[in-house]
Amino acid sequence: MPRLDPDTLERLAHDVASPEYDRTTLEPGIVHLGIGAFARAHLAPATDAAIAATGDRRWGIVGVSLRSPDTRDALAPQRGLYTLALRDADERSAPRQRLQVIGSLIELLVAPENPDAVLARIAAPATRIVTLSVTEKGYHRDPASGALNLADPDIAHDLTHWHVPRTTLGFLVHGLHRRRMHGAEPVTLLSCDNLPANGDTLRALVLAFAREVDAQTHDWIADRCTFPNTMVDRIVPRSTEADRAAVSAALGADDAWPVVAEPYFDWAIEDRFANGRPDWTRGGARFVPEAAPFEMLKLRMVNGSHSAIAYLGAMAGWKTVDAAIAHAALRGYADALLRDEVAPTLPPLPGLDLDTFRTRLIGRFANPALHHRTAQIAMDGSQKLPQRLLGTLRDRRSAGASFKRLALAVAAWIHYLRGRDEAGEAYAIDDPLADALRSALASADAAASGDGETAQRGRIAAFMAATPLFGPLAQDDAAIAAIAHWRDVLDKRGVRAALAEIGGQSEPRAAAH
């Protein structure tokens, strides 16, 4: 089978979509930091659509891997081409897919191998937008305050090693410093990560870093660069070798690293760009005056319930989200969590029917074609929980409203930290604070003797006090008691018993706004 590359495009299967423009004319106008599956399933397809529809060739993407060369090694021989496989099920629940070869990724860099090349691309006059999908842990924030963690060893390194940075913030600030020194135009820095007010968050961190480096660069960034807030919603599981083989067979060419995603796509972007932008609406995006309501909808409804399903499912041995949600008790729990505890905390969303959104979301989770692993969603819990679950729990406590399902989700994360599922199968805790979390949990478990809920409450209180992400909840007796109850149930009787006890019945509607 021939390798996917520009020369094989005309020989692909007849039902495969391919770039409808001349790739050789593209200019490198976007630098994307963190060129993983998520960016290749949302930014690049939307850019493809914009280029094809408008003929604007200024928006070729330079993809930057901040750690591993895997993406470059897979896609460089294909000259940046790869396949997007959109998968769902037909009316008979049979899996199906639609294939599209994406062409807007025109260059691939590996930051640790050639940091200067990355800095040069950020500083290049042709670059107009720098986009990011580096996950929550890529922002190097203090987990309690959200401020730049200046004590982080990599941040400390980057403050003094201008030519060989290691972090996202180091590359951004030192690249923008070069840009200012070369007299280039300002750029837009566009975060696509699951953070509240992700653009405002990125701006604050970039400026905090720049303040430590160069006052004039700090002022130039503050005055001339823009940081729109965004919300991106598409489920993108990690591609497997089986995915690669299946896509290649359907394609009629060997694709070393295709991307799998659901057909659903939503991208809300504040229309604040310093130096032009593609017409991403041609690919399904929408430009909005304010992204905050959409961000909260995504973080709390989509990501919050996803995490709850992942931790409970992983502990029960349900390896994928569709397998987990197929259990009626978990499906009922997730539906009630969204309806009764999450939806009432959301701001007004004119034109959106939350009941319809919730029903569709549960259907998205049940997609049998994605095989989205619960272990993938369970990664980096310390970075995800504050915005996905804890903020919602705090709002429910402030309103004096019920929060038992949120408490179960938090307890499930704590229980997950023990590192083995209910069948005794061990797994690694993939989290930047893994060692500290394990240590805090072990110390807390050892601190309170006894086997009842009172002892469990002491353990949970000690763990929450030692773990900075909980903030004021660590002093909230009612929250501690509820989380302790569910951890006790999970520990002694398991996930199925917890779901049976909590049920899926609706709470009184008075709890909603």
| Residues 33-70 pLDDT 10s | 999 999 999 999 999 999 999 999 999 999 999 999 99
Give the DSSP H/E element, type plus range, for residue 343.
Answer: none
Residue % of the chain over a pLDDT of 70: 98
* Residue 265 shares a structural domain with residue 368: no
How far is the C-alpha of 327 from the C-alpha of 337, rounded, in Å? 15
* Residue 258 shares a structural domain with residue 125: yes
For 330-345, what is each residue's pLDDT tens digit?
999 999 999 999 999 9
Q: How far is CA 447 from the centre of its chain?
A: 35
* Residue 437 shares a structural domain with residue 450: yes
How far is the C-alpha of 421 from the C-alpha of 311, rounded, in Å? 10
- pLDDT of 509 over the 50 cut: no
Output DSSP code: residue 433. Answer: T
How confident is the model at residue 510, as a pLDDT? Answer: 32
* Residue 106 shares a structural domain with residue 252: yes
Q: How far is CA 500 from the centre of its chain?
A: 30
Tell me what the mean pLDDT of segment 298-326 comes to. 97
- pLDDT of 349 over the 50 cut: yes
- pLDDT of 484 over the 70 cut: yes
In a domain, 188, yes or no: yes
For 170-188, what is each residue's pLDDT tens digit?
999 999 999 999 999 999 9
* Residue 49 shares a structural domain with residue 116: yes
* Residue 219 shares a structural domain with residue 348: no
In a domain, 77, yes or no: yes
Read off the tokens for 161: 């090693």
Tell me what the mean pLDDT of segment 354-381 comes to. 96
How confident is the model at residue 512, as a pLDDT? Answer: 32
How far is the C-alpha of 244 from the C-alpha of 260, rounded, in Å? 9
Amino acid at 513: H
Measure Cα distances from 179 to 88, 172, 221, 284, 480 in Å.
44, 10, 10, 31, 50
How far is the C-alpha of 377 from the C-alpha of 371, rounded, in Å? 12
In a domain, 311, yes or no: yes
Tell me what the mean pLDDT of segment 96-118 comes to. 97
* Residue 233 shares a structural domain with residue 327: no
- pLDDT of 458 over the 70 cut: yes
Would you call 376 exposed, middle or buried from its count of C-beta atoms within 10 A (0-12, 13-18, 19+)?
middle
Question: Of 242, 258, 288, at which residue does a domain stop?
Answer: 288
How far is the C-alpha of 458 from the C-alpha of 484, rounded, in Å? 8
Q: Tokens 């009630």: give the residue.
A: 336
The CATH number that applies at residue 42 is 3.40.50.720
Q: What is the 3-state secondary structure (H, E, C) of 197-227?
A: CHHHHHHHHHHHHHHHHCHHHHHHHHHHCEC
How confident is the model at residue 448, as a pLDDT? Answer: 77
- pLDDT of 506 over the 60 cut: no
- The model's confidence at residue 504, banded by pLDDT at 50, 70 and 90, is low
Mean per-residue pLDDT over the chain, rounded: 95
In a domain, 1, yes or no: no
* Residue 299 shares a structural domain with residue 398: yes
Stated pTM of the model: 0.90
Nearest to 232 by CA among 294, 282, 301, 310: 294
How far is the C-alpha of 154 from the C-alpha of 168, rounded, in Å? 10
Question: Of 244, 261, 288, at which residue does a domain stop?
Answer: 288
How confident is the model at residue 197, as a pLDDT? Answer: 95
- The model's confidence at residue 445, banded by pLDDT at 50, 70 and 90, is confident
- Total number of domains constituting the chain: 2
Domain that holds residue 458: 292-511
| CA geometry: angle 188, 61, 286, nearest 5 deg | 55
For 121-156, what is each residue's pLDDT tens digit?
999 999 999 999 999 999 999 877 889 999 999 999
In a domain, 174, yes or no: yes
* Residue 265 shares a structural domain with residue 314: no
How confident is the model at residue 90, as a pLDDT? Answer: 87
Number of other CB atoms surrounding residue 502 within 10 Å: 19
In a domain, 495, yes or no: yes
Question: Of 267, 288, 309, at which residue does a domain stop?
Answer: 288
For 244-280, what is each residue's pLDDT tens digit?
999 999 999 999 999 999 999 999 999 999 999 999 9
CB 9 within 8 A of CB 109: no
How confident is the model at residue 248, as a pLDDT? Answer: 97
- The model's confidence at residue 21, banded by pLDDT at 50, 70 and 90, is very high
* Residue 272 shares a structural domain with residue 356: no
Residue % of the chain over a pLDDT of 90: 92
- What is residue 109's three-state secondary structure? strand
* Residue 256 shares a structural domain with residue 336: no
